[in-house]
Structure 1
Amino acid sequence: MKYFGRLTISRCNSKSSSSVLVSDPVPSDVLMDIISRLPAKSVGKCRCVCKFWALILGLPEFEELFLSKSLSRPRQFLFAAVIDDPGAVPFFTSQPPHQIQNPPLVWVTPHHTYLPAGGLSKISQPVRGWVCIEDGTGMFVVCNPITGEYVILPTLKEKMMIWVKMSLGYDPVDKQFKVLCSTWSPFNSLSIPAEHYVLTLGEQMVWRTIECCRPIRHLVQGGDGICINGLLYYMAESNNYQDIFIVCFDTRFEKLSFINKPDGMWPVGLESRLVNHKGQLGIMQCSNPNRIDGHATSFCLWLLQGGGTEWTKHISQLPFLWWNLAGETELGIVGIRAGTCELVLSPRFLSGRPIYLFYFDLERNIVTSVGIQGFEGVNSNILLAYCFVDYVENLKLI
Structure 2
Amino acid sequence: MDSEKTFESIPDDLFLEIFSRLSSILIARCRCVSKRWASILYRKDFTELFLTKSSARPRLLFAVDKGFQFYFYSSPQSQNQSTLEVDFHTNVGVGINENLCSYESGLIHVHVTDLWLSKKSLCVICNPITRRYVNLPELDKYKDSRSSLGFDPIDKQFKVLFMHNNGEWVHHVLTLGTEDLRWRKIQCPFTYGHFGLAKCINGVLYYLASTFGGSSGRIVCFDVRSEKFKFIDGKHFSSTSYTDLINYKGKLGGVNLDYDCDRSCYCEMYLWVLEDVEKQKWSRYDYSLPTTQTCHFRFDMHIAGMTATGEFVFAEFHTCSSKSFNVIYFNPEKNTLQSVNIQGLEGNNGYMYSRVNTFVDYIEDLSANDLKHITSKPRQRRDTSRELSRSAPSTKNKQTRSFLQNKYELLANLE
Query: TM-score scaled by structure 1?
Result: 0.79
Q: Which residue of 2 aligns with 1:217?
A: 193
Counterpart of 2:123 (choices 128, 137, 140) is 140
**CA 1:312–1:196: 2 relative to 1, 3 Å:** same
The Cα RMSD (Å) is: 3.2
Counterpart of 1:305 (choices 245, 265, 275) is 275
Q: Which residue of 2 aligns with 1:195?
A: 170
**CA 1:268–1:345: 2 relative to 1, 3 Å:** farther
Q: Which residue of 2 aligns with 1:155?
A: 138
Alpha-carbon distance in structure 2 between the residues aligned to 1:249 and 1:183: 16
Deviations 1:281-325 (A, max 9, x none): 010111249x9x952431010011233411111101113x34873
Residue 266 of structure 2 contacts residue 297 of structure 2 at CA under 8 Å; is this kept in 1? no
Residue 62 of structure 2 contacts residue 359 of structure 2 at CA under 8 Å; is this kept in 1? yes
Deviations 1:182-226 (A, max 9, x none): 1104xx4xxxx411111111221222222222221111xxx3111
Q: Which residue of 2 aligns with 1:247?
A: 220
Alpha-carbon distance in structure 2 between the residues aligned to 1:240 and 1:336: 32
Q: CA deviation at 1:375?
A: 3.4
Residue 124 of structure 1 contacts residue 168 of structure 1 at CA under 8 Å; is this kept in 2? no
* Residue identity matched to 2:232: I
**CA 1:24–1:118: 2 relative to 1, 3 Å:** same
Matched, 1:35 2:19: yes
Q: Which residue of 1 aligns with 2:157?
A: 176
Q: Which residue of 1 aligns with 2:203?
A: 230
**CA 1:332–1:145: 2 relative to 1, 3 Å:** same
Q: State the secondary structure of the residue aligned to 1:67.
A: helix
Q: State the secondary structure of the residue aligned to 1:393.
A: coil
Q: What pairs up with 1:1-398 in 2 under 5 angstroms?
A: 9=3, 25-27=9-11, 30-40=14-24, 43=27, 47=30, 50=33, 55=38, 59=42, 61=44, 62-71=46-55, 73-84=56-67, 86=68, 88-97=69-78, 100-101=80-81, 104-115=82-93, 117-118=94-95, 121-135=98-112, 137=115, 138-156=121-139, 159-185=140-166, 188=167, 193-202=168-177, 203-219=179-195, 223-262=196-235, 265=236, 268=239, 271-288=242-259, 295-308=265-278, 309-319=280-290, 321-322=291-292, 325-326=295-296, 328=298, 330-340=300-310, 342-351=311-320, 354-375=324-345, 378-381=348-351, 382-395=353-366, 396-398=369-371
Q: CA deviation at 1:57?
A: 8.0
**CA 1:359–1:276: 2 relative to 1, 3 Å:** same
Q: CA deviation at 1:75?
A: 2.1
Compare the two structures and name the one with the higher helix fraction.
Answer: 2
* Residue identity matched to 1:391: Y
Alpha-carbon distance in structure 2 between the residues aligned to 1:8 and 1:360: 53
Q: State the secondary structure of the residue aligned to 2:16.
A: helix
Q: Count how many residue pairs are aligned between Structure 1 and Structure 2.
A: 357
Unmatched tracts of structure 2, length 5 or more: 116-120, 372-415
Deviations 1:103-132 (A, max 9, x none): x222222100434x5276534331111121
Q: CA deviation at 1:379?
A: 1.2
* Residue identity matched to 1:30: L
Q: CA deviation at 1:8?
A: 5.1
* Residue identity matched to 1:146: I
Q: State the secondary structure of the residue aligned to 2:350.
A: coil
* Residue identity matched to 1:183: H
Q: Which has the higher contact order (CA 8 A, sep 6+)?
A: 2
Q: CA deviation at 1:350?
A: 2.2
Residue 233 of structure 1 contacts residue 247 of structure 1 at CA under 8 Å; is this kept in 2? yes
**CA 1:295–1:53: 2 relative to 1, 3 Å:** farther
**CA 1:56–1:307: 2 relative to 1, 3 Å:** same
